[in-house]
Amino acid sequence: MYSEKVLDHFKNPRNQGVIDNADAVGQEGNPVCGDIMKIYLKIKDDKIDDIKFETLGCAAAISVSSALTEMAKGKTLAEAMAMTKDEVVEYLGGLPAVKVHCSMLGVDALHSAIKSYQENK
């Protein structure tokens, strides 16, 4: 059902936690499935210097959050805004069709954090 990479990110999540004094925070949730993803950003020179996540959800949601943070770290804000759910799914080696919505929450939370940062700076 899940790829080895999805299972690895679920069992060994990267960048899980909170950034105190984050430059931006984005949160997205899905009331139907109950998943909630929160992304914290530290930004330096218009790049994502540090990124952490808190996710309440299924294995796919946690894996997506972990993979997304790995993919986004070090990117410029413009590069991170251009990230898509398809890129995250491909990076993980695929997700079951019923779990692809989880990847959208992660991307939406990242984009929400970036927009918040840009509006408040």
Q: What is the CATH number of the domain that holds 70?
A: 3.90.1010.10
d(CA 75, CA 34): 29
**115 phi and psi angles, rounded to 5 deg:** -60, -45
* Active-site hit among 102, 107, 110, 113: 102
* Active-site hit among 14, 30, 33, 94: 33
User: Has 102 been annotated as catalytic?
Assistant: yes
Q: And the tokens for 42?
A: 């530290």
Please, what sign has the CA dihedral across residues 95, 98, 102, 103? positive
Amino acid 99: pLDDT:
87
User: Has 33 been annotated as catalytic?
Assistant: yes
Q: 14 forms bridges with which residues in the sheet?
A: none
Name every residue whose Cβ is closer than 8 Å to that of residue 36 and which is 6 or more positions away in sequence.
Answer: 27, 28, 29, 30, 55, 56, 57
Instruction: Name the residue range of residue 97's domain.
Output: 4-120
What one-character DSSP code corresponds to residue 16? Answer: B
Amino acid 27: pLDDT:
97
**What is the tally of structural domains in the chain?**
1
Amino acid 44: pLDDT:
97
d(CA 6, CA 103): 12
pTM of the model: 0.94
pLDDT in tens, the chain (121 residues): 899 999 999 999 999 999 999 999 999 998 877 899 999 999 999 999 999 999 999 899 999 999 999 999 999 999 999 999 999 999 999 999 888 887 789 999 999 999 999 999 8
Amino acid 101: pLDDT:
82
Amino acid 24: pLDDT:
97
